[in-house]
Structure 1
Amino acid sequence: MTNVKIKQAAGLQNRKKREKEGLFVAEGIRLAEMAVESSWNMVYALYMSDMEKQPRGRALLERLEHDGCPLYEVPEPVYRKASGTDTPQGILLVMEQQRYSLSELPVREAPLYVILDGVQDPGNAGTIIRTADAAGADAVILLCGTVDVFGEKAVRSSMGSLFHIPVCMDVAAEDLLAFSAQRNVELLSAALDQNARPYWERDFRPGCAIVFGNEGSGVSDSLLARTDHLYIPMYGRAESLNVGASASILLYEAIRQRRYSSQQQ
């Protein structure tokens, strides 16, 4: 049975396998601790014996056992076969994916959504999910053609925020447009063109969804034609900002306006 689990966990490094089985891997003690505190279903855990020798690891294993998660102790060479990292993290969880649809997102007054349009780097996607969670955004919406956020690097880069904020995946642009109209949410794009204005001139307090595009080509033309354009001025010699950095700047401007602008008036 353990060999079957090892083979399955190793196979989940492949996107098609993850999508077919509806599973993914969360590796490392911190991610495992955050997974335990979430409502996500844990299928089983693989761990190395060293995990039981440290108080934190022992407490985690006891919590997993208490929650009914099957535990399988394996030697390091076997663990490495299942692991997606070069350095063994000592424990990995095989978990069920939680996917949200647009219709499942709660109806809220003046929501703040983050849209990823063709973002390809898993580290960028995970970082943006983490930032959206930190900023208190209501959801992250991934359009078709965006990287799979259940991949190992994206999960790790999200630092557990994947378990905290609703993430909608494989959303068609047409469905996003219909959703934004239904929820009275204005679409904004991070873009650099003659129609864009500095981001601080924008009022982020009404309901809005900020679109961040592909690392190389930016937001798709079809969405650019339907959104208000914002840009982040650059005064040095850099040609562009990383999409994760751009998301941080715009989201925290939105939070500044929503939480503190009234106090300054």
Structure 2
Amino acid sequence: MVIDSASNKKIKLMESLRLRKHREREGLFRIEGVRLAEMAAESGWELRFGLYTAELLEKERGRQLLAGLRERCPLYEISAPLGKKVAATDTPQGIFLAATQQKTDLSELAGGGQSGRKQDGAEQPLFVVLDGVQDPGNAGTIIRTADAVDATAVILTKGSVDVFGDKVVRATMGSLFHLPIVADVSAAEVAAFAEAADCQLLATALDALAKPHFAVDFRRGSLIAFGNEGNGVSEALLRAAAKVYIPMYGRAESLNVGVSSAVVLYEAVRQRRFC
């Protein structure tokens, strides 16, 4: 089927999903670009519908992608100008999907991630907490790093960026589809969950009582909180957590939160898999 009108309901819906209020109302989000669409097609996430331009059919990769997507959801061809109209990028690749937001409740992770990814052998769960992280690039990078280290799940506290926003989805590079993500959780709920799951709650902080990150035993079940770009981890969460820091010996005042997450999480990998 071909859509040739900018007033078409599918076009208007895809455009509206740029805004958080519409994503939340519809329970949908946008997936844009060939690689992300390929990963979405391979995932178990529900796809509502897709829009594509004729230019996508000129490439073998595009034809293969559409063949796979036709088994997953209705597809509609649109013109290149309409493709630019609905795009969130400067150089759209001619494929746009509306997908159902797949949300996980904190209670579903009880027992160390029963609805998360299976952990190797006796390995303990590893939860990554984004506490008020608001930059889409940072949030996407941390989710991607959490996926790389085989974390059990990612938990976002209230006030964090919308994980289903265009920029966050692109920054995850498909890792959004690979692990459970819990959003809009309070600091109190994070602390209660850590206790119920028998996990240590850790928070990155420059504090006199903080331990160097390599002095912490990450072989235990752990929740590791990374804080807001400007203010760090919230006081409410700091009061409930043991504090860790990354030693720095040059003149830099701090590390980007995305970098910090990689440093700490790969220390957990080193301890869990190489010690």
Q: Is 1:165 matched with 2:169?
A: no
Post-superposition CA distance 1:197-217 (Å, at most 9, x none): 211111100101000000000
Q: Is 1:47 matched with 2:52?
A: yes
**1:75 counterpart residue number:** 79
Q: 1:152 Cα deviation (Å)? A: 0.4
Q: Is 1:208 matched with 2:222?
A: yes
Q: Distance in 1 between matches of 2:25 and 2:178?
A: 24
**1:259 counterpart residue number:** 273
Q: Distance in 2 between matches of 1:148 and 1:24?
A: 10
> Which stretch shows the higher mean deviation, 177-186 or 27-36?
177-186
Say which of 13, 19, 22 aligns to 1:17.
22
Contact 1:6-1:79 within 8 A present in 2 as well: no
* Matched residue type, 1:43: R
Q: Distance in 2 between matches of 1:235 and 1:178?
A: 36
- Percent identity, please: 57
Say which of 252, 272, 275 aligns to 1:238.
252
Q: Distance in 1 between matches of 2:109 and 2:96?
A: 29
**1:104 counterpart residue number:** 108
Post-superposition CA distance 1:43-97 (Å, at most 9, x none): 1111111111100000000111123x11111111111221111211211111000
Query: Tell me, what secondary structure is at the counterpart of 2:255?
Result: coil
**1:35 counterpart residue number:** 40
Q: Distance in 2 between matches of 1:110 and 1:163?
A: 22
Q: Distance in 2 between matches of 1:194 and 1:33?
A: 47
Q: Distance in 1 between matches of 2:253 and 2:222?
A: 27
Q: Distance in 1 between matches of 2:90 and 2:59?
A: 22
Q: Distance in 1 between matches of 2:195 and 2:92?
A: 47
**1:63 counterpart residue number:** 68
Say which of 122, 131, 135 aligns to 1:121.
135
* Matched residue type, 1:42: L
**2:119 counterpart residue number:** none
Contact 1:198-1:233 within 8 A present in 2 as well: yes
Q: Distance in 2 between matches of 1:87 and 1:33?
A: 18
**2:233 counterpart residue number:** 219
Q: Distance in 2 between matches of 1:177 and 1:221?
A: 12
Q: Is 1:197 matched with 2:197?
A: no
- CA RMSD across the alignment: 1.2
* Matched residue type, 1:57: G
> Which stretch shows the higher mean deviation, 107-116 or 135-144?
107-116
Q: Distance in 2 between matches of 1:89 and 1:104?
A: 36
Gaps of 5+ in 1: none
> Which stretch shows the higher mean deviation, 160-169 or 73-82?
73-82
Compute the TM-score of the two structures, normalised by the length of structure 2: 0.92
Q: 1:193 Cα deviation (Å)? A: 1.4
* Matched residue type, 1:14: L
Q: 1:173 Cα deviation (Å)? A: 1.5
Q: Is 1:93 matched with 2:114?
A: no
Q: Distance in 1 between matches of 2:230 and 2:224?
A: 18
* Matched residue type, 2:43: S
Gaps of 5+ in 2: 113-122
Query: Tell me, what secondary structure is at the counterpart of 2:240?
Result: coil
Q: Is 1:149 matched with 2:163?
A: yes
